[in-house]
Amino acid sequence: MAILKVKRLSKSFGGLKAVDSIDLDVEEETITGLIGPNGSGKTTLFNMISGVIPRDSGEIWFRGERIDGLKPFEIYARGIVRSFQIPRLFWKLTVLDNMLLAARGFNGESLVGAIFKRGGWILEEKRLVDKALDILDLLGLSDSAFKPTYQLSGGQMKLLEMGRALMADPKLLLLDEPTAGVNPKLAYSIFGKIEEVRRAYGTTFFVIEHRVETLFSYANWVYVMSNGSLIYGGKPSGVISDSRVQKAYLGDIHAA
């Protein structure tokens, strides 16, 4: 069953069609990849799904509900969580604080709750701290829980970004280049963690990735974008032999 459906979605910037009438489905509990040369519109697509930028036309459906036009926090509340290409962490806060900030519907975060219902949120936070430490443990970050975030290595930041996303019990995780800037070995282990999480929590992953080989070892389904259009959707094994992909993209892989 498709958890996310995108129908004839378009977005232009000035005269440029960044995303041009795209249709795609993401099946539940899969790792679905999204690849394409730089500037092919992948991040714009993610921005529209997460509500960060408005669409020009088209529809986005999530678990049977239309979500285009909703605000980012409303989309987040429905269970779509995204990570950014460059991790957007809160650098001066601790790793644990970053994790706790991602919890959804935490009553201690309201003004009245914080001051007058201390008993309530103190217990609630205790649960969240335990959950955060469990996830950090799974990702191998528990030693850094109380460090300020800017002290993490590049790979650890990527993992924290994913860990933070997991705190929100997402149904769908949008990951924008989870392995950018880390060495190839670490890239495999990051995807290993993604697969572990998928099994443990039943999360669906929609992943933009440039490391095609790493992605293909784990992805169930792959979409390819070029110049704002979708040029392929199918099993990873079929990508290499597709003539349109070869034309638009394969040169780029070898160049990279």
Partner 1 sequence: MSDPSIFVMHIAFRIGVYGIAALSLNIEYGYTGLSNFGKAAFLMMGAYTAAIAVENGLHPVIAIVLSIVVAGFIGLSASLFALKFREDYLAITMLAFAEISRLILRNFDDSVRALTKLITGVEGYTNIFGGVHGKVVRSFVSIPGDYRLYNIVQLTLVYGLLASSYVFVRLLSDSPYGRVLRAIREDELASQTLGKKTWVYKMQIIGLGSALAGLAGALNAQFEGYISPESFQPHLTFAIWMMVILGGVGNNLGVLLGATLVESIEAIALFVKSFFGYLPFDPVNIQWIFVGASIIAIIAFKPRGLLEERPIKTPAVEVARIGYTKG
Binding stretches for partner 1 (CB under 8 A): 50, 52, 72-73, 76-77, 82, 84, 88-94, 96-97, 100-102, 104, 106, 108-111, 113-115, 118, 121-122, 125-126, 128-129, 133, 145-146, 148, 164, 168
Q: How far is the CB of 5 from partner 1 (least distance, A)?
A: 21
Q: What are the beta bridge partners of residue 59?
A: 7
Tell me the C-alpha to C-alpha distance, in Å, between residue 37 and each of 42, 203, 210. 9, 27, 8
Find the shortest distance in angstroms from Cβ 99 to partner 1. Answer: 11
DSSP 56: S
Compute the least distance from the CB of residue 186 to partner 1, in Å: 23
Q: How far is the CB of 7 from partner 1 (least distance, A)?
A: 23
Minimum CB distance to partner 1 smaller for 121 or for 201: 121
Nearer to partner 1, 33 or 108 (CB): 108
Long-range contacts of 235-240 (CB under 8 A, 24+ apart): 236/33, 239/35, 239/212
List phi, psi (to 5°) of 31.
Answer: -105, 110
Nearer to partner 1, 2 or 145 (CB): 145
Amino acid at 19: V
Minimal distance, residue 169 CB to partner 1, in Å: 12
Q: Which is nearer to partner 1, 106 or 188 (CB)?
A: 106
- Closer CB to partner 1, 39 or 113, in the complex: 113
Distance in Å, CB of 152 to partner 1, minimum: 15
The nearer residue to partner 1, 15 or 119, going by C-beta atoms, is: 119
Distance of alpha carbon 60 from alpha carbon 39, whole angstroms: 21
Q: Which is nearer to partner 1, 63 or 131 (CB)?
A: 131
Which is nearest to 81 in space by CA: 203, 196, 193, 194? 203
How near is the Cβ of 85 to partner 1 at its closest, in Å?
A: 13
- Are 225 and 231 within 8 A, CB to CB? yes
Summary count for the chain: helices (H), strands (E): 11, 10
Q: Which residues contact 196 (CB under 8 A, 6 or more apart)?
A: 138
C-alpha angle 101-215-23 in degrees, rounded to nearest 5: 80
